[in-house]
Amino acid sequence: MTTQIHFLECLNPSCGFRFPLDLGAFEGNFCPRCGAGLQKISPQIEQWQPKWNAPSGLQLVGVLDNIRSAHNVGSIFRTSEASGINHLYLCGLTPSPVVNSALAKSALGAEDRMAWSAHPNAVHVIELLKKEGYQTLALECTPLAKNLFAPLEATIPPAKAALVVGSEPAGVDPGVLALADHTLYIPMAGQKTSINVSVAFGVAVYGLLSSWSAFSQ
């Protein structure tokens, strides 16, 4: 079905509800808020997403350490596919697309385009990745953690890097933290001192890629 998304506005001056609707799928004759008539204001803008490439030669993988929520994991799949992550390691309790169909609702097809593998033990995965030359970056608030947006000792992108995120509320496995080359935290201004793990993963991925890309230019 062809998408015919328009922004509509309620004709009732005391309501004025304005919202987008796919007129190819719904008639959109009456305001869902007050029941008055609607008028078409404008079609959706033509969207364009420029192609972006990660720093040349970088292999960046994600390690999901006991992320229970299938929706969060699906969102991480979507972010990973968009940002050019090479592989996702699903560890411990982390669901996979094979065993949890709910994951696909937030992944929106990214689960079919992303390379991934399931593993029972995140510590063993990190040990293997370090032997393969990966620099390990754990996203966790600890007394010795470094600000994600502050320069690391080496700002040059590593040839291989693994970003680790942990479960809520347990956090990253202490065994993984002991093996990490860097532990990073996301600075926060509000009273709530944590954000959703899938959001945190996205912030960290694009923060690191932006820093490395700026250095390589």
Strands, sheet with 160-166, edge to edge from the N-terminal-most edge strand: 116-119, 87-91, 59-65, 160-166, 135-139, 182-185, 146-147
- Count of residues in the chain: 217
What is the model's pLDDT at position 149?
Answer: 87
The answer for residues whose C-beta is within 8 angstroms of residue 210's C-beta and 6 or more apart is: none
User: Of all residues in the chain, what percent carry a pLDDT higher than 90?
Assistant: 59
- Measured CA distances, 179 to 57, 85, 92 (Å): 24, 21, 17
Find tokens 């065994």 and name the residue: 175
What is the model's pLDDT at position 102?
Answer: 81
Reply yes or no on whether the pLDDT at 154 is more than 60: no
pLDDT tens digit string along 37-83?
999 999 888 777 677 676 777 899 999 999 999 999 999 999 999 88
Q: What's the average model confidence in pLDDT over 73-95?
A: 93
User: What does the block give as tokens for 79?
Assistant: 């972010």
> Are β-strands 5-10 and 116-119 bridged in parallel, bridged antiparallel, or unpaired?
unpaired
Which CATH architecture best describes the domain 59-216? Answer: 3-Layer(aba) Sandwich (3.40)
Alpha carbons 35 and 54: distance in angstroms, whole number = 49
Reply yes or no on whether the pLDDT at 1 is more than 70: no
- Measured CA distances, 183 to 36, 137, 157 (Å): 56, 6, 16
Note whether 45 and 14 are within 8 A (CB): no
- Measured CA distances, 83 to 10, 13, 37, 160, 176 (Å): 39, 44, 43, 15, 24
Beta-bridged to residue 137, according to DSSP, are 163, 182
The 10 Å Cβ neighbour count of residue 84 is: 14
What is the model's pLDDT at position 150?
Answer: 82
Entry pTM = 0.85
